[in-house]
Structure 1
Amino acid sequence: MTALLVPYESLNTLQRQQVEAIEVHPDQIRFCGDIHGALHTLLSKPGPGVKGFALLADNVPVAFLLLKRPPVLPAWADEHSATLHALQVDQRVQGKGYGKACLQALPEAARLAWPEIRGLELSVDADNESAIGLYAKYGFVDSGEAYKGRIGYERRMGMRF
């Protein structure tokens, strides 16, 4: 599998249309939202605090994610970090390692976007043991803290550079 995580702004017109066609499995929407919400977050108020990335497999977008920094960093995050949001792998290609490819490429992509950051953070549903395990496998450490999120308790996970 050849996959490359690239900034959304570097995509051509066809690739941007293909990003818009990413479909999230209905059971995952409550955790990561859908592509239209993620793109709205990215494109409605462009600014330095939000960046989008697409994972390309053979030059076709198969996954999408957002990274955030101040001034749109969530209250739970450290100001020196970037936070991961809306990680979405197209349901038609799930199970092929694309989520893992995103997580492997994420630290380098984040540092290229914001050289000053010292780490990455994310928030994950406290009951989502498979996601917590996956994030841990790729270097995220559970902070041990849980807080009430929009759909239940969330756990903070982070990695330092």
Structure 2
Amino acid sequence: METRLVPYETLNALQKQQLDGLQVNPEQLAYSGDIYCALNSLLVNPNPDAIKGFALLADEVPVAFLLLKRPPCLPHWAHEDSATLHALQVDRRAQGQGFGKACLQALPAAARQVWPQIKALELSVDAENTLAMGLYLKQGWVDNGEAYKGRIGHERRLSWVFN
């Protein structure tokens, strides 16, 4: 199966319709939100250069989605020269097939193509979300050792620095 991470705006009408059907497991909704919230934050943003959506296609069918943000849309904890990862969602029917890993492996190149000036990728993950934390750490993200009170519980900051 061939996968590729593509900008949302390059999806055709059928792929956008398929993406609308992406569903996460109910226990993950608190962490990633749903596709409607993610797409809404992308499509109604008044700063289109500050937020970008990406879909992971598996044999041309969307199986995952994520958002990247830059100033002025960065969260308070992020460094100005970074992009932040948000709303990483893998369709529940495609879980366990390596699509989250594929997203993270393709993400640095995709982010740099959009914003060549960035020096790092950053994210915040709920400390209780052990599956996500394990995935990020296995893919080379580094826990910055900082925790703060998030909307659900304590969150950890992770980063992926470009060489």
Superposition TM-score tier, normalisation by shorter sequence: over 0.9
Which residue is 2:31 aligned to? 31
Which residue is 1:48 aligned to? 49
Which residue is 1:153 aligned to? 154
Aligned length: 161
**Pairing 1:11–2:49 present:** no
Following superposition, the deviation at residue 129 of structure 1 comes to: 2.4
CA–CA separation in structure 1 for the residues paired with 2:130 and 2:55: 25
SS of 2:96's equivalent? coil
SS of 1:156's equivalent? strand
TM-score, length-normalised on structure 2? 0.97
Following superposition, the deviation at residue 76 of structure 1 comes to: 0.4
- 5+ residue gaps, structure 1: none
SS of 2:14's equivalent? helix
1:1-161 pair list within 5 angstroms? 1-46=1-46, 47-161=48-162
Q: Deviations over 1:128-152 (max 9, x none)?
A: 2232121011111000000011111
> What is the RMSD computed on CA atoms of the aligned residues?
0.8
SS of 2:55's equivalent? strand
Of the structure 1 ranges 123-132 and 112-121, higher mean CA displacement relative to structure 2 is found in 123-132
- 5+ residue gaps, structure 2: none
Identity %: 66
Runs of 4+ in 1 over 6 A off after TM superposition: none
CA–CA separation in structure 2 for the residues paired with 1:122 and 1:148: 14
TM-score, length-normalised on structure 1? 0.98
